Amino acid sequence: MRYFSRRIGFFLLTLWAVVTLNFLIPRLQPGDPAELMVQNLAGKNAQLNRAQVEAMRDLLGAPSGSLLDQYWSYLGQLAHGNLGISYTYYPYTVAQVIGKAFWWTLVLVGTVQILSFAIGVLLGAFAAWRRNSRFDTAVTSISTFVGTLQPFWIALLLIYGLGYGLGWFPTAGGYDESTPGFNGAFIYDAVSHAFLPALTLMIVTPIGWVLGMRNTMIMNLGEDYIKLARAKGLPDRTIALRYAARNALLPSVTGFALALGGVLGGTILVETVFDYPGLGRLMGEAVGIKDYPLLQGLMLLTAVATLVANLIADLLYGVLDPRARKATA
């Protein structure tokens, strides 16, 4: 039990640190948000219109009171689930903006992560089982090579090749002419738009799993219990899947939980390149436009998602592997 309470205590402490940093960092940035907003709207080759800046200051509302007062009211707001009002989408709230982008990323990156995990782990396990075979060499060398490529570069290649060159898939946006909702036209539209970003991610995401799984499994295959299983004359399939792969999966499960937490961080560059309406693009834009409330909301969401995923992984690990519980108890 002590293992679990320690994990939860650690979680709460980290959460507090994240919230506090999230409060402080935007306040340490140079630049007046109102001036930045007006400049962004006008473009860099334009004089700052001071009447507009004054109006914008009035609109955004300057923070009042001491830093400590601001901190308390920020915590109070958060406790009520209030993330503030976005600068860019004013008067829409941060929660409304994030709510729009959330599902796009969850479906796209979530699906990709689950598929990548399954494919990656299977390929890795098979490569380890048949290590030094032609299959193993091919999988490992291709993975290592593709792993050095930048996802957004792959994205650009796909856009020009499959998008503009062959014209098979749309190159930008999440959907086009259909009306969002649960109807066939929209689902078809959304899936065809998601195809290229998903393909880009599917090329790069499984690699970590392939290599990780292969290495752990090779290590496990050298363990005594495998030898024992062989000595007992168990069939290869059982040894590979029920003994070696099952044990090798443990670190990957932790990694997978973390990766799922990272889903909400999105994939800034890939979403930006495809103009995909998800959290990644939103975060990229919030950074570019210095929309601090939105940025804070996104950072908080990402951090909390990662922390919760981490906590779940920790707790799950404790259940799956009795050694972890005993080691810290």
> Using CB under 8 A as the criterion, which residues of the chain lie in contact with other proteins when the complex forms?
29-32, 35-37, 40-56, 58-59, 87-92, 96-97, 100-101, 152, 156, 159-160, 164, 171-180, 268-269, 272-273, 275, 277, 282, 284-285, 287-290
Tokens 């050298």 correspond to 222
AA letter at 220: N
Q: Which is nearer to other proteins, 137 or 150 (CB)?
A: 150
How is residue 281 written in tokens? 């693009």
In 80-160, alpha helices (H): 94-129, 134-147, 151-158
Q: Terminal CA-to-CA distance of the chain, rounded, Å?
A: 8
| In the complex, minimum distance from the CB of residue 243 to other proteins, in angstroms, rounded to a whole number | 46
Q: Which is nearer to other proteins, 32 or 321 (CB)?
A: 32
| In the complex, minimum distance from the CB of residue 296 to other proteins, in angstroms, rounded to a whole number | 17
| In the complex, minimum distance from the CB of residue 153 to other proteins, in angstroms, rounded to a whole number | 11
| In the complex, minimum distance from the CB of residue 104 to other proteins, in angstroms, rounded to a whole number | 8
Alpha-carbon span 266 to 272, nearest angstrom: 10
Tokens 């363990």 correspond to 223
- Ramachandran bin of 44, using left for φ above 0, alpha for ψ from -120 to 50, beta for the remaining angles: alpha
Tokens 């919760």 correspond to 308
How is residue 145 written in tokens? 């090579």
Q: Which is nearer to other proteins, 91 or 222 (CB)?
A: 91
Q: Which is nearer to other proteins, 5 or 45 (CB)?
A: 45
Dihedral of the CA atoms 189, 192, 194, 196 (nearest 10)? -150
Q: Which is nearer to other proteins, 46 or 219 (CB)?
A: 46
Q: Which is nearer to other proteins, 63 or 173 (CB)?
A: 173
| In the complex, minimum distance from the CB of residue 180 to other proteins, in angstroms, rounded to a whole number | 6
| In the complex, minimum distance from the CB of residue 177 to other proteins, in angstroms, rounded to a whole number | 6
